[in-house]
Structures are given as C-alpha cells and as structure tokens.
Amino acid sequence: MTQKRVLSGIQPTSDSFHLGNYLGAVKQWVELQDGHDAFYCIVDLHALTGEIEPALLRKRTLASAAQLIALGISPEKSTLFVQSQVPQHNQLGWLMECIAGFGEASRMTQFKDKSSKAGADSARVGLFTYPMLQAADILLYQAHLVPVGEDQRQHIELTRDLAGRFNTRFGETFRVPDNFILKTAAKIQDLQDPAAKMSKSSGSVAGVLEIMDTLEANAKKIKSATTDAGREIKFDEKEKPGISNLLTIHSALSGVAIEKLEVEFEGKGYGDFKSVVADVVVEYLRPIRSAALELLDDEKSLIDILHVGGAKARDVASSTLDLAYKNLGVVR
C-alpha cells in the first residue's frame, strides 16, 4: 500500500518558534514522518502578509529550517522546502481565489483578528487572500492529513470546501484532506495571559517560550508564569487556566499523563511545581537549541537541503496544477 501523504506549513515570522508551534504542530510532524510521505513547508509567502523586513525574512527562513531539523524533521525522511521555491503555490492560489466567495473569505477569523489590530483600511489584500494560498499549499500535494494546531481549524475547513467545490464543478482534481488536529496539546496558552494562545505576535514576550531563547530565560519565564487562585495543582481550564497550561506543557514534553502529574504534585505548592516544569522544559530544549545553532553555522548546507526538497515538491505540485488547468479548460 502506498503511504498516506502529509502536508503542513509554518511561517518564518520570528527568530524562534515557540513551544505552541512545537507542541501544537511540529511534534506531530516528526511522528508522522515514519509511515507517511511527508511534505513540510516553510511558508515564506504567507509571512509577507505581515511586516516585511527583507534581512529578517532571510534570517528567519534559514532559522526555521535549522529549528525544524533540530526538532527532528529529517530531510531524508521528509520533503522539507520553502514555499516560494515552488511557484505552483502562487498559481494554484489564484485558482482558489477564483472559486472562493468573498463572503466566506470575509468570515475567516484570522483575517478579522489581524486586520482589526492593524485597522481594516491598512490591512493588506494578501492578508485577506491568505487562506486561499494556504488551501493551494495543501491541495497541490493531494494531502490526506494536515497536522495543525486548533487555531488553523477554520482554514482547513475552507480548504476542504474549496476542494469539494472544485471537484464537483470541474471533475475530480484534488483529494479532500481530513481534519487532523491533535487534542492533547493543540492549544498552548500564553504564560502571562493564559486566556490567550501562545503566539508569535503576542505582546507579552514574557509569556512566550521560544525554542532559540537562552535556557535561563525560559526557566525564568516559567517560574514567573501567572498562576491561579487556590493552591491545588489540578487540571481545570476554566478555573485554573495557568496551572492547566503548565500541566499540558509538562505532560506533552515528559510523556507523563496529566492525571499522574496531579497525583505526583498533590500537597505541593505552585512554586515547587513551576520549578519542576522549568527543569523539564530546559532539559528538553537544551540539545535542540544547540543543534539548531550548529546547523545555522553552515548556511550553504542548509540551503542545499532546501533546494533538494524544493525540487521534489515541484515535481508533485506541477502534476496537480496541470490537472487543475486541464480540468478548467486552460490550453496547455
């Protein structure tokens, strides 16, 4: 039997991924490499929908590649590539824009959130058409599975709708991907504001655990995380969002079930608990951070890896695009 195809993407929008990116998405990417035909994409074109800083985009694209490899994405097992090196993404993106409704695109909450922050008039058109490019990312590879965190659910739903609509109107062209959102760590919250998700664009640097940050800085952030009223270490997202978030992080990294952690920390105080979580995080990130720094020392080899992935991705993407054009009646 041929292996199922997996596709996912991550934006190179900061110097470091945060723990939410890792636990909500990349950790599953690593697991799915075995037994699947996996394509992982650094979506630099999507990153252009935010502030554009040319020197930073280059640096962050390379840093993303280094971190993905350090986190366990193997360029031998998976196809790791940069979106802009595969022009079919833009080409299919346009086709998606031509079948998406203005109304359904207007309902995308990511656009509503981000554009309301910037003010609707100054939001860029690329931010509005972002989900159609994301649909193209996925459909080009005929992906069965798209491992993402909870915040991407709506974009995956739109992708499924667009694929189904295209197939019905123009003939079988795209695989409609399954939803694949991992429940346990699909939502890692900000350490300072546990009501908000941990996010690259978050205002509070202190609430975001960055993989490339120094180990001391991350330990400090955990020790000063906001905790809740009471003193029990119990998982209760409503009443104890701060402690629940720390339990989720500990459990996802240590592999110990949350119920077991609750028993282990019975009678202990928040301070003791936070210091154990800090140790778990620091020890987990120590080898990853140093592997990423080492990879970044040799840019040429890193770029070579991405070129190999780009060539493999173009092969698959071009045959899907050809089929889509053919079914639309485009002369080839």
Q: What is the closest distance, in whole angstroms, from the C-beta atom of residue 320 to ligand TYM in the complex?
A: 14
Binding mask 85-124 for ligand TYM (x = CB under 6 A): ----------------------------------------
CA distance linking residue 228 with residue 54, whole number of Å: 42
Q: Which is nearer to ligand TYM, 72 or 232 (CB)?
A: 72
Q: Which two tokens stand for residue 7?
A: 């596709």
Q: What is the closest distance, in whole angstroms, from the C-beta atom of residue 45 to ligand TYM in the complex?
A: 9
Cβ atoms of 61 and 9 within 8 Å: the answer is no
* Residue showing the smallest CB distance to ligand TYM in the complex: 24
Q: What is the closest distance, in whole angstroms, from the C-beta atom of residue 272 to ligand TYM in the complex?
A: 26
Q: What is the closest distance, in whole angstroms, from the C-beta atom of residue 20 to ligand TYM in the complex?
A: 3
Instruction: Give the catalytic positions in this structure.
Output: 114, 197, 200
- The length of the chain is 332
Looking at residue 304, its amino acid is: D
* 207 DSSP 8-state letter: G
Residue 213 within binding range of ligand TYM, rule CB under 6 A = no
Residue 138 within binding range of ligand TYM, rule CB under 6 A = yes
Binding mask 164-203 for ligand TYM (x = CB under 6 A): ----------------------xxx--------xxx----
CA distance linking residue 315 with residue 177, whole number of Å: 20
Q: Choose one: 1-9, 217-225, 242-250, 251-259; the region binding ligand TYM (CB under 6 A).
A: 1-9
Alpha helices in the chain (DSSP H): 19-21, 27-32, 44-47, 54-70, 88-99, 102-106, 109-118, 125-139, 153-170, 215-223, 241-254, 258-264, 270-296, 299-328
Backbone angles phi, psi at 154, to 5 degrees: -65, -35
Judged by CB under 6 A, the chain residues 20 through 79 that form the site for ligand TYM are: 20-21, 24-25, 43, 46
Residue 151 within binding range of ligand TYM, rule CB under 6 A = yes
Edge-to-edge strand ranges of the sheet holding 4-10? 79-82, 36-42, 4-10, 145-148, 178-181
Q: Which residues lie near ligand TYM (CB under 6 A)? A: 7-11, 20-21, 24-25, 43, 46, 134, 137-138, 146, 148-149, 151-152, 155, 186-188, 197-199
